[in-house]
Amino acid sequence: MIKTVVKCVLAVSLAAAAMSVSVSPSFAAKKKAAAKPATCTAPAWASTNCANGVCNLAWCGGDGKWYPSPGFCWEPFCWAPKV
């Protein structure tokens, strides 16, 4: 009886391992297809939300996304390009 249980457990574990290996590439393909291209190239700064002559600054992270910065600049003298 124990030998039969061991054989069943071994067969189920081998089947589960085979399924996990065969499914993994499809998950990777979906993730790669869903990945969006980077919107910027680090290191970079840009001005955003210009209102009443003051612009907020944003910086480009290593992952290619814009992040808000605590800095600001006066619109006529702002050195960062607008996003």
Give 1-32 as a DSSP string.
-HHHHHHHHHHHHHHHHHHHHHHHHHHHHHHH
Question: How much helix, strand and coil, in percent to the nearest 5, is found in the chain?
Answer: 45, 30, 30
Tens digits of residue pLDDT in 48-77? 888 888 999 999 988 888 899 888 888 888
Residue with tokens 């003298």: 77
The total of other beta-carbon atoms located within 10 Å of residue 64's CB is: 14
Residue 9: the pLDDT is 67
Of the two residues 21 and 78, the one the predictor is more confident about is 78
Q: In the chain, what are the domain boundaries? A: 1-35, 36-83
Specify which residues 66 forms β-bridges with.
60
